[in-house]
Structures are given as C-alpha cells and as structure tokens.
Amino acid sequence: MDYRAFFAYIFSTLETRDVNEKKAEAAWIFQHFTGKSNLEIPILDGFFTDIASVDKVIKERNNGIPLAYILGYKSFYGRDFQLNKACLIPRCDSEILIENMLMKVEKTLSEIVIFDFCCGSGCLGITFAAQYILDNPSCKICLYFIDISDAALEMSLKNAEKILKNQVICKNIPMDIMNDKWDFDRKCDVFISNPPYIPSIDIDKLDNTVKDFEPKIALDGGADGLKFYRKIAENIGKVVKSDTLCGIEFGIMQEVMIKEIFQSHKLAFYKDLSHIMRCATFKIDEY
Ligand SMILES: C[S@@+](CC[C@H](N)C(=O)[O-])C[C@H]1O[C@@H](n2cnc3c(N)ncnc32)[C@H](O)[C@@H]1O
C-alpha cells in the first residue's frame, strides 16, 4: 500500500468520533509506523506493508485504550515521554505552565534545584530542565521527582535518562505528599506541581478513555478536587526559599478556590489552549 493509501486506511479504520482527534491520531499512527509526517505525503513515494501490526494498534484503540498507552509514549513540548500504566498521559495544556515558568525564571543562575511534585511521567520537571539548559548550558541542575507511585517514579527517571542524558542530576523521592513529612535534604529554586484535581464525584463522569485507563490515583483530588492544593499551601514553606519560582496546574473552574487557598501569595494566572484558566505561578516573597 503506498503512503497515501496507507494514511487513508488508518483514517477510515479508526473509529474515533471527534474528527479533530481522529486526524491527530491518524497522523500519529502514520508517523509511528513510517517515521514520516503525513503532511509530507505528497512528496513521499514509499510503501507500507506490515498492515497486521497497524491493525492491532487500531483494534486496541477502537476498544477504547488511549493511543499513548498502546504505543507507550506521548509527545510533550516536542519530546517523546515513555509511559507505563501508572503514568497520567501528559496533556498539552500543561505545556502552558512550563512556558510561563520559563518566562519568569531567572536565566543566569549557576545552580538550580527543581522539585516536580506529583511527577507522573516526569514531563513537567524534565521539560523545564531541558528548556532551561538550552538558555543556560553551564547551570548545574538537580531535579527531584516526587510521587506516591514507584512505577511512575521509575518512568520519570527513565525519561530523564533519555531526554536529559547526564546533563542533570536526578533523584527519585517516593512520598505520599498528603501523609508523609515534607522533609527534604535541601530547598528548591523551582517548584512545579500538577497534582490530582478531579473531584471524586466527577471521576465517573469522565470520558471512558480517561476513567477506564488512566490511573485513578492520578485523577482523584478528593471531595472537592482541592485537597492536594491545601496540603501544598500548608507545607510549601518547608521546601522553598523566599525567591523560589512556584507553578501549579489546576482543574476547570478551580481558579477562585485556588486564589483562596494560596491567599498569602500573589498568583499570576494563565489560560490553556481552550481559554480555560489552568495554571498559576507565584513566589513566596511576593505580595
Ligand atoms: C495529575 S497526575 C500528574 C502527572 C504529571 N505531573 C503530569 O502533569 O503529567 C498526578 C500525580 O500525582 C501522583 N499522586 C497521587 N497521590 C499522591 C500522593 N498522595 N502523594 C504523591 N503523589 C501522588 C500520582 O501518582 C500522579 O502521578
């Protein structure tokens, strides 16, 4: 089958309802199997023959399994992050948090310590470190991954090894941030967190591809979805310095409560790609 027919085959076989999602997923599958972008099809003259392995992927996808878990990775900020079932699939909305933190951070530091609280695949901390090092290659960076899931922590470290190579010192901290003591050997210069924030009662209302496959522990933010933010607000003083740059992601319609929970800090808010207020940055000494 030539590449044009191959792309048409993927597109027509996928049963994804949303047409934009279908286009994006067909393009991803095409790229996965050919190593080429579907946008290049007019100038490509290759053929694809291993239809059985594509059919397997499409069958699983049509059974509702997210493509990121089937293929085992997801692109975030232009880099592929490997995933296992313990990792939330990185969302492009989270890129907004990183982008704004990178605009705010001091670029001339000789050493920085980054804490990625509730790290999952490590996409936030790793991306921040990878981008920071482009602007400041001589900076010594230490990146701490903090999560309750050992499998997620393992994946964070694996992603860090692949993406950051040996440019950054990375450390895993297995920790239940709700119940364990916030007791670290050092304070951080950059605090990033995207904790679980879906109200427990809303989990069942999520799309099947999310609620049936993504780890519940990565989604459930307690009765009103905000328990992790209250814990962070209560303890953040123990892990940051006065000028530490902090960034948090939160859920839809949580902005007002986030403002209240972090009322002793001056928060700057940012919208995601769908114009939903999605994240905030602050420094402890600003108000
Ligand atoms: C919303 S996911 C975010 C993952 C990643 N930072 C991202 O943005 O893709 C939340 C993460 O919090 C972790 N988590 C849940 N409860 C926790 C707890 N009590 N202590 C520490 N981490 C927890 C989950 O394992 C999950 O990896």
Where residue 150 sits, what CATH number does that domain have?
A: 3.40.50.150
- 39 and 142 in a single domain? The answer is no
Q: From CA 35, how far away is CA 187, in angstroms rounded?
A: 42
Domain count, the chain: 2
Same domain? 92 vs 200: yes
The ligand 1 atom at the shortest distance from the C-alpha of residue 195 is 10
Backbone angles phi, psi at 141, to 5 degrees: -115, 135
In sign, the C-alpha dihedral spanning 233, 238, 243, 249 is: negative
> Which amino acid, one-letter code, is at 81?
F
Residues 104 and 52 in one domain: no
Q: Among the three residues 48, 63, 78, which one is the final residue of a domain in this structure?
A: 63
Pocket residues: Cβ below 6 A from ligand 1: 88, 90, 94, 118-121, 123-124, 147-149, 152, 175-178, 194-196, 217-218
Q: Which two tokens stand for residue 277?
A: 């207020």
Residue 274 lies in a domain: yes
**Rounded alpha-carbon distances, angstroms, from residue 66 to 54, 90, 95, 214, 276:** 15, 12, 20, 9, 23
Does residue 141 lie in a domain region? yes
Cα of 87 from ligand 1 centre, angstroms: 8
Of all atoms in ligand 1, which is nearest to the CA of residue 76? Answer: 9
Residue 204 lies in a domain: yes
d(CA 3, CA 269): 44
Q: Do 115 and 54 fall into the same domain?
A: no
Same domain, 115 and 23: no
Please give the chain's pLDDT, 287 residues, in tens: 899 999 999 999 999 888 989 999 999 999 999 999 999 888 888 888 899 999 999 999 999 999 999 999 999 999 999 999 999 999 999 999 999 999 999 999 999 999 999 999 999 999 999 999 999 999 999 999 999 999 999 999 999 999 999 899 999 999 999 999 999 999 999 999 999 999 999 999 999 999 999 999 999 999 999 999 999 999 999 999 989 999 999 999 999 999 999 998 999 999 998 999 999 999 987 65
Query: Would you say 123 and 90 are in contact if contact means Cβ atoms under 8 Å apart?
Result: yes
In DSSP terms, which residues pair with 115 in a beta bridge? 144, 191
- Give nearest CA residue, ligand 1 atom 12: 118
Domain of residue 33 covers: 3-63
137 plus 13 within the same structural domain: no
DSSP-based three-state secondary structure for 173: strand
